[in-house]
Structure formats: structure tokens, C-alpha cells
């Protein structure tokens, strides 16, 4: 049962269960986020292979994300999330066993990546749609801030430990192709175990749609189409999602591929450097999540202008990252980009959750996630190929310059400028 808006978000038993299980699982996820790109680079030494693995994960996620959102709206998001995370747990467990046994090959990684991409096409929109069913609208911003803070804390703790674990395990493995197999296998194993806590908490949670599911109307594909029409009819929401898609295509991929390559080729601590970079970004995002509410109030409804200003600054930071040759320098820049990103993300997600009707939430969030998690990794495959032709410096400079130019150009868009204004909020109501 939902609590009064004045209560702490943790007074809600269901939210507390979700938060606790997700915290442990999120820490485990960081081990795989560090270990998987490191495993691919150790097996192949080829950034293009890393981009292809990310694309293999992204293709089914992109293809089925909108269907996943429609399924979430037809069913309980809790049950969809339970199934998706269960599949992920099995796949990561298999990856851990194969690495520890010294039997891992690249074709196996592609198959597992394909499976993870398919399962996350359903679990990601379910995870975003469940929160509005747990909380009052007035509690969505603090609840999102709590979830974001937890995720960033996990990104502070997880990558450093994972990087050190992989480094310590270097040369202890018996797989000729992977000198770090012991540490890598253990990292995947830790993530697999962490899923059990998330699955356990989801089994204890109960939400309204568990007992009162909405009667399906039309086919799943018809539901997808209606969701897209609903977004298209909302001018500020449509403008933001189109903007996010463009940014993801031109910037998301180079960052996903570029950071692991930066750590391996320029920095002095190997996998530990990658972990430190990811941790620094997480520290920045944690601070940003705390500052998001304050920043949103200070801009007095001009949320669109705030987001575009933030993105233009992040682009300049990426250009500076092109010149980095030390772990400390990279960590400082990524902490700054994380701070700005944390402010923007909490504000935008809360705005969307307040704006969209609950029965359309799964489809709306699936479209939003498609722009980041579907399109971004696809551009990673292109970025990996570009690194065969261009330098890492050129890749980061191009990505940063593109982001800044796009953000500054979009400041002339009335639809983007109006995001968060009293007029658009009134229209949504």
C-alpha cells in the first residue's frame, strides 16, 4: 500500500524491498560491466570485437524493447522483471563457469550477449514502470533519487573491487587465451550470486497490477503502435526522445568502446584504471542525484534549457578526455560529467513519470530506453571499427564536439526549451 506523500519513501515496505534487493544486484552488475569488455579485449585484442559484442547485446534489446514495454503494460511489471532477471542470472552463471573452466570462446560470448540483450528488452522497461505503481506522484523524485544514489554507490564500490579482483587474478588462470581468467570468472560469479537477492525481494513485493491486471485490448503490436502514437502526440516528450536518440547514436557508442581502450592503451593500472574511471563517474552521478532536486527548483521550470546546457558542457569534457594520459586526469573529467549527468537524469525521469499515464508507462519508458540502450551500443560497433582508422583522440574529440554542437543547436527548439515549464505540465494534466 502506498504511503502519504509526506512519509519517507522507505516507509513504503514494497519500495524498501525493491531498494534492498536492487542494491545488492546493482553492485554485482558492476563486476560484469568491468569484466566483460576486459574479457573480450584479452581474447581478441581488437576494439572492433568489443563493439560487435555490445552490438550483439543491443540488437535483440533494440528489436524487442518496444514489445517488452507493451508486455509490461499488459501484465504486472513485477512479474516481467522477475522473469527477465532470472534469465540474466542463468546466463551470467554460465559465463562464469565457462571462464573458470578455461573453455570460453568468442562465439560463446556472442550467444550469451544475445540472450542478455533479449532478456533486458523486457526487464528494463519493467524496472522503470514498477516505481510509479509503488509511490505517490509527489514521492517519485525522492524515490528516483534514492534509486539513482544506490546505483551510483554500487558503481563506486563495484568497479574498483572488480578491477582489483581481475588484476590480482592475472596470470593465475589456466586459459591460454585469457591470462586473467581466475579473476574474470570470479567477477562473473559474484554478479550471478547477487541476482539471487534481487529475485528474492521481487518475490516478496506486491503491487496493484498483480491483483488487478488490466484486460488486454488488441494485440501486442497494436499496443506498441498506440504507445508510439501517444508519445508522438506529446510535443515536448516527442522532442526530447528524438533529441536523446540523436545524442545516443553519435556519442553513446564512442564512449562505450573508448573507455576500455583508453584504460588498456594509455593508462598505467590496466583493468584497475577502468574501474577507477567508472567509479569516478559514479561518484559524480551520486552527487548529481542529491543536487537534482535543488537544481530543478533553481531553474524555475526551464528544465529543457538546463538539460541542453548540461549536455554542451559534457561535450567539452569529452574533448578534454581525448588528451588524457593519466588515470587521475580521466577520473576528474568523468566525475564532472557524472555530476552533470546525475542532475539531468533524475530530473528528466521524474518529469516523464509524472507526465505519462500509468497504463502507458511501460511503453513510454521502453521507447526512452530504446534511445539509450538500443541505439547506443549499435553505434559502439561503428566506433570500434572507426578505431581501426582513427585514433582514440580523434574518436573522443569527434564525440564531444558533436554533443556540444547538437545541444547548442537544439536551444532554438521551442519544444525542447519548454520541457518542465508550467504550460507543458498543465497541458499534460
pLDDT per residue, tens digit, the chain (429 aa), is 444 445 677 888 888 888 888 888 888 888 888 888 888 888 888 877 887 887 788 778 877 888 888 888 777 788 888 888 999 999 999 999 998 888 888 899 999 999 998 898 888 888 877 887 787 777 777 888 788 778 777 877 777 788 777 777 665 544 444 556 777 888 899 899 999 998 998 888 877 666 655 655 667 778 788 888 888 888 888 888 888 888 887 777 787 788 888 888 888 777 778 878 877 887 888 888 778 878 877 877 788 888 889 889 988 998 998 888 888 888 899 899 888 888 888 888 778 877 887 778 777 877 877 777 667 666 777 787 778 888 888 888 988 898 899 999 988 888 887 787 644 444 444
424 lies in some domain:
yes
Domain count of the chain?
1
Rounded Cα gap, residues 93 and 86, in angstroms: 11
CATH number of the domain enclosing 58: 1.20.1250.20
CB 130 within 8 A of CB 17: no
**pTM, rounded to two decimals:** 0.66
Rounded Cα gap, residues 406 and 94, in angstroms: 42
Between the alpha carbon of residue 357 and those of residues 18, 50, 135, 239, 422, the distances in Å are 22, 39, 14, 18, 18
Residue corresponding to grid cell 588515470: 327
In sequence order, the 6+-apart residues with CB closer than 8 A to the CB of 10 are 16, 19, 146
Residue corresponding to grid cell 510535443: 235
Between the alpha carbon of residue 26 and those of residues 213, 282, 293, 408, the distances in Å are 28, 12, 23, 34
Can you give the pLDDT at residue 93?
Answer: 93
49 lies in some domain:
yes
In sequence order, the 6+-apart residues with CB closer than 8 A to the CB of 171 are 179, 180
CB 119 within 8 A of CB 132: no
For 277, the domain range is: 10-428
244 lies in some domain:
yes
Rounded Cα gap, residues 422 and 428, in angstroms: 10
Of 196, 202, 167, nearest in space to 274 by CA: 167
378 lies in some domain:
yes
Of 318, 297, 13, 279, nearest in space to 153 by CA: 279
3 lies in some domain:
no
List alpha helices for 7-46, DSSP H.
13-44
2 lies in some domain:
no
Rounded Cα gap, residues 6 and 138, in angstroms: 9
Can you give the pLDDT at residue 60?
Answer: 83
Rounded Cα gap, residues 75 and 71, in angstroms: 6
Residue corresponding to grid cell 548540461: 310
Between the alpha carbon of residue 23 and those of residues 41, 261, 266, 336, 376, the distances in Å are 29, 28, 32, 24, 25
5 lies in some domain:
no
308 lies in some domain:
yes
Length of the chain: 429
In sequence order, the 6+-apart residues with CB closer than 8 A to the CB of 275 are 34, 159, 160, 161, 162, 163, 164
Amino acid at each position: 500500500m502506498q504511503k502519504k506523500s509526506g512519509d519517507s519513501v522507505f516507509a513504503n515496505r514494497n519500495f524498501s524491498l525493491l531498494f534492498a534487493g536492487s542494491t545488492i544486484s546493482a553492485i554485482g552488475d558492476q563486476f560484469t560491466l568491468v569484466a566483460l569488455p576486459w574479457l573480450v579485449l584479452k581474447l581478441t585484442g581488437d576494439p572492433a570485437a568489443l563493439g560487435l559484442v555490445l552490438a550483439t547485446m543491443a540488437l535483440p534489446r533494440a528489436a524487442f524493447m518496444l514489445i517488452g514495454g507493451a508486455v509490461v503494460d499488459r501484465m504486472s511489471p513485477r512479474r516481467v522483471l522477475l522473469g527477465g532477471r532470472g534469465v540474466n542470472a542463468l546466463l551470467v552463471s554460465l559465463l562464469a563457469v565457462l571462464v573458470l573452466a578455461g573453455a570460453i570462446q568468442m562465439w560463446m560470448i556472442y550467444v550469451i550477449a544475445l540472450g542478455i540483450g533479449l532478456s533486458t528488452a523486457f526487464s528494463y522497461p519493467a524496472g522503470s514502470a514498477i516505481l510509479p505503481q509503488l509511490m505517490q506522484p509527489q514521492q517519485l523524485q525522492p524515490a528516483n533519487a534514492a534509486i539513482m544514489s544506490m546505483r551510483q554507490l554500487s558503481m563506486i564500490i563495484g568497479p574498483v573491487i572488480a578491477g582489483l579482483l581481475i588484476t590480482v587474478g592475472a596470470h593465475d588462470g589456466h586459459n591460454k587465451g585469457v591470462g586473467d581468467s581466475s579473476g574474470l570468472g570470479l567477477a562473473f560469479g559474484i554478479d550471478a550470486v547477487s541476482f539471487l537477492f534481487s529475485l528474492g525481494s521481487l518475490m516478496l513485493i506486491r503491487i496493484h497490477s498483480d491483483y488487478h491486471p488490466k484486460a488486454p485490448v488488441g494485440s501486442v503490436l497494436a499496443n506498441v503502435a498506440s504507445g508510439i502514437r501517444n508519445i508522438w502526440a506529446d510535443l515536448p516528450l516527442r522532442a526530447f526522445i528524438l533529441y536523446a536518440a540523436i545524442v545516443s547514436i553519435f556519442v553513446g557508442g564512442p564512449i562505450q568502446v573508448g573507455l576500455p581502450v583508453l584504460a588498456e592503451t594509455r593508462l598505467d593500472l590496466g583493468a584497475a584504471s577502468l574501474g577507477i574511471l567508472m567509479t569516478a563517474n559514479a561518484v559524480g552521478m551520486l552527487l548529481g542525484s542529491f543536487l537534482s532536486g535543488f537544481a530543478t527548483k533553481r531553474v524555475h521550470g526551464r528544465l529543457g534549457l538546463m538539460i541542453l546546457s548540461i549536455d554542451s558542457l559534457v561535450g567539452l569534457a569529452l574533448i578534454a578526455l581525448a588528451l588524457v594520459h593519466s588515470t587521475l586526469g580521466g577520473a576528474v573529467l568523468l566525475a564532472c560529467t557524472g555530476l552533470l549527468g546525475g542532475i539531468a537524469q533524475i530530473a528528466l525521469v521524474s518529469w516523464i513519470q509524472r507526465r505519462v499515464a500509468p497504463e502507458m508507462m511501460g511503453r513510454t519508458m521502453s521507447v526512452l530506453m530504446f534511445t539509450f540502450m538500443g541505439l547506443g551500443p549499435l553505434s559502439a560497433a561503428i566506433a570500434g571499427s572507426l578505431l581501426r582508422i582513427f585514433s582514440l583522440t580523434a574518436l573522443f574529440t569527434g564525440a564531444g564536439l558533436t554533443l556540444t554542437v547538437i545541444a547548442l543547436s537544439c536551444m532554438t527548439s521551442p519544444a525542447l526549451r519548454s520541457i518542465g515549464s508550467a504550460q507543458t505540465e498543465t497541458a499534460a494534466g
